[in-house]
């Protein structure tokens, strides 16, 4: 078995926040002990509601923020600290696609010039090579040369996200973090961009972390899926299995709200209680105020993420009781 391209080990990220103008600053833990592995050539989907910590996890994995604890290894080597020369050197191999393509593009520059920028920054090839590479990149994301002469505001949302993708691919990265890359697009355009990502991943042997709250899209593109709730991974497994037989009560609720096409529609599980708020994290299992299966232990003890079957891990006291022979994967405070 080959080593994973990306290994994330017990990442923790806490922000200092003040409640109100005169409130005392206190720590709000956005990512709380996340451990993940992403194999070469695979897409790992990362799902969860707003406030679950998935975008922060994406930034930590790319080194755009430094963790308070834990580590990220890329291609077997620990990721260098942000803004060091070593970190800048590794950035050509790892890129990020953001939700808002207009915000990611420079409104004053034509698209082709922006696609070329990373080649200039990393001094890749000579003038002729860079010109040819830009043409190749525009073709690979299905944009014409004529679109390359336009400015971002003259493009549709789908065209802009393709341009962002072309720029991200300029230095031939091995790893892409896509943070809600289609959620700002019309549904019809979403499918085109997701299909393009699937094609490019196969053509270029890309490894991807695909972050989204949209389970339909995650199911379409991911080989494996991690579900996050209030900074922790609560379920992790093969995408097909996880969507067919979700184990964690939170995953069950998410899946019931977004059944697979053609699947028998099971009863929708509507979660009560407040949506996740990292500034007011409950004791014990963070999901217990909303969990229909909560019992006394859940209010005082956080469940560890345990392997309950090959390629399936769950953080729930009930699953641990049922499986009996579960293997503890990551310590949870």
Kindly list the residues in this chain that would bind ligand SF4 in the complex (CB under 6 A): 248-249, 285, 287-288, 291, 293-294, 298, 303, 316-318
Residue 332's region, left for phi above 0, alpha for psi from -120 to 50, else beta, is beta
Burial class (CB in 10 A: 0-12, 13-18, 19+), 305: buried
The nearest distance, CB 229 to ligand SF4, in angstroms, is: 9
The C-alpha atoms of residue 174 and residue 249 are separated, in whole angstroms, by 35
Of the two residues 135 and 301, which places its CB atom closer to ligand SF4 in the complex?
301
Of the two residues 98 and 287, which places its CB atom closer to ligand SF4 in the complex?
287
Q: Specify whether the CB–CB gap between 72 and 6 falls below 8 A.
A: yes
The nearest distance, CB 314 to ligand SF4, in angstroms, is: 9
The nearest distance, CB 269 to ligand SF4, in angstroms, is: 12
The nearest distance, CB 109 to ligand SF4, in angstroms, is: 49
Q: How many CB atoms lie within 10 A of CB 166?
A: 25
SS3 content of the chain, % helix, strand, coil (to 5): 35, 25, 40
Under 8 Å CB-to-CB from 122, ≥6 apart: which residues? 92, 171
Of the two residues 118 and 249, which places its CB atom closer to ligand SF4 in the complex?
249
Q: Specify whether the CB–CB gap between 290 and 272 falls below 8 A.
A: yes
Of the two residues 44 and 234, which places its CB atom closer to ligand SF4 in the complex?
234
The nearest distance, CB 273 to ligand SF4, in angstroms, is: 11
Of the two residues 176 and 318, which places its CB atom closer to ligand SF4 in the complex?
318
């Amino acid at each position: 078995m080959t080593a994973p391209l990306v290994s994330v080990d017990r990442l923790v990220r806490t922000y200092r926040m003040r409640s109100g103008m005169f409130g005392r600053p206190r720590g709000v833990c956005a990512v709380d002990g996340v451990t993940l592995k992403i194999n070469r050539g695979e897409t790992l989907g990362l799902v969860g509601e707003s406030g679950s910590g998935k975008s922060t996890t994406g930034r930590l994995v790319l080194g755009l923020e430094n963790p308070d604890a834990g580590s990220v290894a890329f291609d077997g080597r620990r990721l260098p600290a942000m803004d060091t020369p070593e970190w800048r050197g590794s950035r050509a191999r790892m890129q990020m696609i953001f939700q808002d393509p207009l915000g990611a593009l420079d409104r004053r520059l034509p698209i082709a010039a922006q696609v070329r920028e990373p080649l200039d920054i990393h001094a890749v090839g000579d003038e002729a090579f860079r010109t040819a590479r830009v043409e190749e990149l525009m073709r690979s994301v299905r944009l014409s040369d004529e679109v390359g002469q336009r400015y971002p505001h003259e493009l549709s949302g789908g065209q802009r996200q393709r341009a962002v993708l072309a720029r991200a691919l300029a230095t031939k990265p091995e790893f892409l973090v896509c943070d809600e890359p289609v959620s700002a697009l019309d549904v019809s355009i979403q499918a085109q961009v997701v299909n393009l990502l699937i094609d490019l991943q196969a053509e270029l042997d890309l490894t991807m972390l695909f972050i989204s709250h949209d389970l339909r899209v995650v199911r379409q593109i991911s080989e494996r899926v991690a579900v996050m709730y209030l900074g922790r991974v609560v379920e992790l497994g093969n995408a097909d299995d996880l969507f067919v037989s979700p184990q964690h009560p939170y995953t069950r609720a998410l899946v019931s709200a977004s059944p697979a096409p053609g699947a028998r529609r099971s009863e929708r599980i509507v979660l009560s209680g407040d949506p996740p708020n990292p500034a007011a994290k409950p004791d014990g299992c963070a999901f217990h105020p909303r969990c229909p299966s909560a019992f006394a232990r859940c209010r005082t003890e956080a469940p560890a993420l345990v392997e309950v079957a090959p390629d399936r891990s769950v953080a729930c006291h009930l699953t641990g009781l049922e499986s009996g022979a579960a293997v503890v994967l990551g310590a949870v405070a």
